[in-house]
Amino acid sequence: MSKVRIAFIVTEDWFFVSHFLPMLRAAKELGLEVVVITRVGKHRHLIENLGASVVPLDIERGHLGFLSIGSSIVRIAKTLRHEEIDLVHCIALRSVVTGGIAAMLGGVKGRIFAITGGGLLAADKSPKAAIGRFALRCLFRITRMGGRSHFLFENVTDPETFGLNAAEPGVTVLGGAGVNPDYYTPLPMPSGSSLKLAIVGRLVWSKGVDLAVEAVSIARERGHDVTLSLFGLPDPSNPRSLSVEALEAWSRLPGIKWRGSSSDVREVWAEHDMCCMPTRGGEGLPRSILEAAACGRPILTTNVPGCRDFVRHDREGWLAPVDDAAALAEWICALAGDKASIVAAGSRARERVMEGFTEARVMGQVQDVYRELCKAIGRPL
């Protein structure tokens, strides 16, 4: 009998490489043949070097019109049939919808749907966003028809947001994408009395970068020696991306610096005391939080799903109210003169990673799902 073939469906190759290579390795360890269907940029060779084949999908994430989505579904369905796929593993909301429907049309019985957060639909509290969440729940029901499916979430709140229950069969809550604690190792705290904060990630509205800039400016006006570095790039495919002009304007403020992207975040945390992530919500479980924690850095974030699943207030870091720059500034001021608490919380953050947020743990959970679905569709491993 031929090997089981699995297709990962994901919008961008860089997103797959930055977060989901452990899942590719999990599939390869079980002997599955792997196909990655994605929009190809500069990372195709990294995927192919791990033994997967890549099928280009030329679709822009920002194009959400009916014709664009319909065209994606048709192309993916044709690819699934041509590649004789047994399992699909769809990553993030758009791929879950398009890939799930394509799997139905393509006759793929085993379907894994990885919800990596609600994005703008979860962060936005407007009536329009509420309608969007309701529509997604309906689409999820459709994608489950005619096959066996399993949902993967990164926090305990998102299942309910999308009409499911974290405890029901067919739902697994992972420790995010996991990190390798042998690669992200504890780092000595930087010298000096200044409190050095850093934000690492996509520079979009939902991440709350503007709140951090305002909060640090308030703290500096009160006489605290605090700096904020912004690592990352705008995301043109996101309708609420920050502009280059705004980032450059913030860089002209005292103590604020936009430093572009980083090829190795270990270098970031070697230079900074604490990870700042004042997100407005819509997160699964930010990988940047896990990377910082693995390096022994505490997290100053907001009380939203995903972040609060990892950070327990006053243990691995601190949880500030959502969308409240003044409250965030109060925490920054309090911590600016308390390096001992920062060091202790950083140590606990590293311990928290080791308790269940490692790549090995996540790979094991995903492999259990693959085994279960392969058995259910008559292709036991």
Asked if 341 and 364 sit in the same domain, the reply is no
- The CATH number of residue 10's host domain is 3.40.50.2000
First-to-final CA distance of the chain = 11
pLDDT tens-digit map of 201-230: 999 999 999 999 999 999 999 999 999 999
Q: Quick count: other Cβ atoms within 10 Å of Cβ 317?
A: 31
Contact 110, 29 (CB under 8 A): no
Do both 135 and 280 map to the same domain? no
For 111, the 3-state DSSP assignment is strand
169 and 207 share one domain: no
- State what percent of residues in the chain have pLDDT above 90: 80
Are the C-beta atoms of residues 39 and 57 closer than 8 Å to each other?
A: yes
- Residues with Cβ within 8 Å of residue 127, at least 6 apart in sequence: none
Q: Please check whether residues 160 and 305 belong to one and the same domain.
A: no
Angle at 219 between CA 265 and CA 229, to 5 degrees: 20
- Tell how strand 226-231 and strand 195-200 pair up: parallel
For residues 336-360, one letter each, b for 16 or more C-beta atoms within 10 angstroms of the residue's C-beta and e for the rest, the string is: beeeeebeebbebbbebbeeebbbe
Domain contains 190 = no
Residues 169 and 58 in one domain: yes
Structural domain that includes position 56: 5-178+358-376
Say whether both 37 and 106 belong to one domain.
yes
Is the pLDDT at 347 greater than 50? The verdict is yes
C-alpha–C-alpha distance, residues 210 and 250, integer Å: 9
Structure tokens at 335: 């911590």
DSSP secondary structure, 226-284, as one string = EEEEEE----TTSTTBPPHHHHHHHHTSTTEEE----S-HHHHHHH-SEEEE---S--S
Q: What is the pLDDT of residues 123-175, one digit of tens each?
A: 666 777 677 777 777 777 777 666 799 999 999 999 988 888 888 899 999 99
Task: Tell me: do 365 and 312 sit in the same domain.
Answer: no
171, 239: one domain = no
The answer to whether position 143 is within a domain reads yes
Residue 28 makes CB contacts below 8 A (sequence gap 6+) with 34, 50, 51, 52
Q: Is residue 186 part of a domain?
A: no
CA separation, residue 185 to residues 20, 296, 297, 339 (Å): 20, 8, 10, 20
Domain annotation covers residue 183: no
Number of residues that this document lists for the chain: 381
**Does residue 257 form part of some domain?**
yes
> Nearest 5°: phi and psi at 257?
-145, 120
Residue 155 DSSP one-character state: S
DSSP string, 23-78: HHHHHHHTT-EEEEEEE-SS-HHHHHTTT-EEEE----TT--SHHHHHHHHHHHHH
Between 380 and 34, residue with greater pLDDT: 34
Neighbours of 219 (CB within 10 A): 25
Question: Would 381 be classed as within a structural domain?
Answer: no
- What is the mean pLDDT of the segment spanning 172-184? 95
Number of domains in the chain: 2
Are residue 53 and residue 101 in the same domain, yes or no?
A: yes
The H or E element spanning position 113 is: strand 110-115
Tens digits of residue pLDDT in 75-93: 999 999 999 999 999 999 8
- Rounded Cα distance between 184 and 295, Å, is 5
Is the domain of 350 the same as that of 364?
no
Q: What is the DSSP letter of 193?
A: S
CB count within 10 Å of CB 104 equals 20
Are the C-beta atoms of 42 and 261 separated by less than 8 Å? no
Reading the block at residue 279, the tokens are 């997100």
Whether 362 is in a domain gets the answer: yes
Q: Are residues 363 and 318 in the same domain?
A: no
The reply to whether 217 and 172 lie within a common domain is no
Let me know if residue 235 belongs to a domain: yes
pLDDT tens figures, 94-110: 899 899 999 999 999 99
pTM passes above 0.85: yes
pLDDT, residue 272, reads 98
